[in-house]
Structures are given as C-alpha cells and as structure tokens.
Chains A and B, each alone.
Chain A
Amino acid sequence: EVQLVQSGAEVKKPGESLKISCKGSGYSFTSYWIGWVRQMPGKGLEWMGIIYPGDSDTRYSPSFQGQVTISADKSISTAYLQWSSLKASDTAMYYCARHYTRYYYYMDVWGKGTTVTVSS
C-alpha cells in the first residue's frame, strides 16, 4: 500500500525550532516529488513547496521562501519540513503529499497531517 506517514502533533513556543517528517512507503520514494501543504485553522489549502528526493531539487512557493526549509533523506524515504524560529502564525495543520508530475500535475497520496501549535 502506498502511504505517507507523518510525525505526531507538536506544541512549541515562539522562537523555537521544529522539524516535522513524512515517511513514504509502498512506492519508489526517489521517483516522485513530495510537497507540503499548510492549512491554518478554519482556512483553505496553501502549497508551500516540493522536493524531489532523487536529487534533492527543491522549489518553494514565494509565500514560504525563506520561512521554512524542505529537505529529504532518501536513505530512509523521509521528507522534512523545518522552521528555525517559529511564530504564532505558524500554528496550522501541515500535510505532506506525493506529487504526480508526468504530463498531469496533481497530489494523489496524502499524509494524515501534523498539527503544529505555537503558543507562549
């Protein structure tokens, strides 16, 4: 079964750092882009960026460039999303999703999400 398993919920204070993970299984992890999507409480979906684990090529949405870092360790089929200094406005649900990009472009496999709460 193709699946993405995300790390558990996090509660952090403003200014702290954080790295959440997304582990792929059931498919060739290095052959598909993996991306991250933010959903703030009660709001819609926002695409943050993607990484190709095969060569670590990374693209960011302009809205998130410089705010987060996307990385991957292909040896353990895991993608990461990290912050160096969290803000209260980073409070949200974060989903990872496999991107299908051959002729079409869509996200066909999603993780269940990681809730990040930033509060003093």
Chain B
Amino acid sequence: EIVLTQSPGTLSLSPGERATLSCRASQSVSSSYLAWYQQKPGQAPRLLIYGASSRATGIPDRFSGSGSGTDFTLTISRLEPEDFAVYYCQQYGSSQLTFGGGTKVEIK
C-alpha cells in the first residue's frame, strides 16, 4: 500500500498569505492519479485538483498543484477567508486508493 504523508500537520497563516502544502508518497505515484481535496467543518470533501495539477471545475486559480514521482505540492497563492480548512491528498495505485493524513490551514 502506498502511504501518503502530508506536512505540515497544521499551517497557521493570515489571509492574503501564501500556503504551501506537501504530500510525500512512500513510492512513486502516477501524476494522473494524484488529487487534492478541501474539507470544511461539517461538509463533505470537495475536489480541488486532479492529475496533480489540473483544477477541478469552479476552483479559483489561486489554487495550484505541482509535483511528480513521490513529491507533490498544493499551493494557495493568496489565502481567502473561505480557504481555511483541511486539505487531503489522494493517490490511486495497484487497485487501492489512499489518502494522506491531511493538513489543517488555520487562521493565525
């Protein structure tokens, strides 16, 4: 099973700042199978990024994804108040899907 490790666990930032979230895989992951989700309290997760770098429908361009192999990054260029949430990366490989443990982006 491929293990995804997200860091940091919590990111304390102010609105307008840049957020950089990391997702590291225990072995190489196909970029096509790497996605990012946002989850706010009391809500279902929402797809942000698929294929490591493609934004899902309706996702603002302040969200971007990059990376390949074992290292992937989600960047939020300028945090808006509605962006404070938990973010999860996800990969699919060998007929199994796994999530990272999540990064909470909180207001500083």
Contacts and interface: CB of A to CB of B under 8 A. Distances in A.
A64 B54 CA distance: 31
B33 A107 contact: no
A11 interface: no
A44 B102 contact: yes
B35 A106 contact: yes
A46 interface: yes
Interface string A55-99: 000010110000000000000000000000000000000010100
A12 interface: no
Contacts of A62: 1, 96
Nearest to A61: B96
Interface of B is mostly: strand
B95 A59 contact: yes
A107 B98 contact: no
B44 A112 contact: yes
A108 interface: yes
Contacts of A104: 32-33, 35, 50-51, 54
A37 B98 CA distance: 10
B44 A111 contact: yes
Contact of A105 (B33, B44, B46, B102): B33
B47 A107 contact: yes
Interface in B1-22: 1
B32 A105 contact: yes
Given A62-B1, A95-B44, A106-B47, A45 B99 contact: yes
